[in-house]
């Protein structure tokens, strides 16, 4: 990121009872875009951790790119964290996104040894210095935070604990994103920022993900939802065009990295990349 804008993808592991084959096929298609890394999500409450490890291992063994594992504090005691981090390192996975994690239904706390991501970052930095550590950033404020200022102070704690770069939550409002960047820089957060782009592909998930994270739905996106909400094909077409424009807006603003949440849908992502001309941007 210090030399040029990085370009990367996020995938999620299949459910325990589902085959790995479709995701392995998806990864093969994603490698074609020469991503700098591919990150893999970690199920809330440590569910699917085996699957997460399998995916990270497959990415590592492909030799095509760097796997970045997501990792959370939810339900995790230090002993388990130590064992799992050792397992990742043995597999050659030394890039991690250190998160608190979302609480499973009915939980009010992590029920682990760490309450917040900054404590996990500190633990990893102290005990496993070989990890490159990403931390989460919320351009429109984390939904549980009292204020943007307070949330930024907590982001600063993650930098001070040893985070290497920030991966951001979805944010469709580029002006809000720009404001957040200005504010975090004023607060002394100097880490590079990897901007997370959530493609707009279908109505319900788009609404669910923005609302559950307390993020804005700008007018242009609201119009797409209103106009094409009952026609999945038209929605997807307009949503992809919207996503391409969003990527341009981000790149024009000057970001350190572009991280596409693929939702494991490589064909749609391929269309977006082609239309945004990202390969040539990267080169």
166 binds ligand FAD (CB under 6 A): no
Phi/psi at 67 (5° precision): -85, 140
263 binds ligand FAD (CB under 6 A): no
Whole-angstrom CA distances from 49 to 25, 107, 119, 221, 237 are: 20, 19, 20, 34, 34
Here the tokens at position 29 are 């298609």
Instruction: Pick from 118, 159, 243, 264 the residue near ligand FAD by CB under 6 A.
Output: 118
Smallest distance from ligand FAD to CB 196, Å = 5
Smallest distance from ligand FAD to CB 283, Å = 25
Site string for ligand FAD, 34-53 (x = CB under 6 A): -------xx-x---------
Relative orientation angle of helices 232-253 and 174-186, to the nearest 10 degrees: 30
Coil, helix or strand at residue 195: strand
Number of residues that bind ligand FAD (CB under 6 A): 24
114 binds ligand FAD (CB under 6 A): no
Choose the stretch contacting ligand FAD; rule: CB under 6 A; options: 25-33, 78-86, 149-157, 180-188: 149-157
Smallest distance from ligand FAD to CB 172, Å = 14
User: Is 233 a catalytic site residue?
Assistant: no
Instruction: Pick from 169, 206, 262, 264 the residue near ligand FAD by CB under 6 A.
Output: 169
70 binds ligand FAD (CB under 6 A): yes
Quick check: 23 and 55 in contact, CB under 8 A?
Answer: yes
Q: What do you get for the CA distance between the two ends of the chain, in Å?
A: 14
Here the tokens at position 52 are 């997460």
**Alpha helices (runs of H) in 63-116, residue ranges in sequence order:** 78-90
């Amino acid at each position: 990121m210090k030399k040029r804008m990085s370009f990367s993808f996020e995938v999620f592991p299949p459910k325990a009872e589902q085959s790995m084959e479709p995701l392995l096929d998806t990864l093969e298609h994603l490698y074609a875009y020469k991503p700098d890394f591919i990150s893999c999500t970690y199920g809330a409450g440590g569910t699917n951790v085996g699957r997460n490890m399998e995916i990270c291992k497959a990415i590592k063994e492909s030799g095509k790119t760097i796997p970045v594992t997501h990792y959370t504090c939810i339900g995790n005691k230090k002993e388990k964290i130590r064992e799992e981090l050792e397992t990742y390192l043995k597999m050659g996975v030394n890039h991690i996104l250190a998160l608190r994690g979302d609480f499973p239904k009915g939980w009010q706390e992590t029920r682990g040894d760490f309450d917040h991501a900054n404590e996990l970052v500190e633990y990893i930095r102290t005990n496993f210095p070989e990890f490159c550590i990403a931390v989460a950033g919320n351009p429109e404020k984390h939904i549980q935070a009292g204020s943007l200022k307070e949330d930024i102070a907590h982001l600063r704690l993650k930098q001070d604990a040893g985070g290497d770069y920030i991966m951001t939550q979805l944010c469709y409002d580029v002006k809000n994103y720009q404001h957040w960047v200005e504010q975090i820089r004023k607060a002394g957060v100097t880490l590079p920022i990897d901007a997370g782009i959530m493609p707009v592909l279908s109505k319900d998930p788009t609404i669910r993900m923005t609302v559950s994270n307390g993020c804005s739905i700008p007018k242009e996106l609201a119009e797409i939802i209103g106009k094409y909400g009952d026609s999945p094909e038209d929605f997807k077409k307009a949503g992809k065009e919207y996503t391409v424009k969003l990527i341009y807006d981000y790149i024009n603003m000057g970001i350190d990295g572009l991280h596409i949440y693929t939702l494991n849908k490589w064909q749609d992502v391929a269309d977006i990349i082609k239309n945004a001309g990202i390969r040539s941007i990267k080169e």
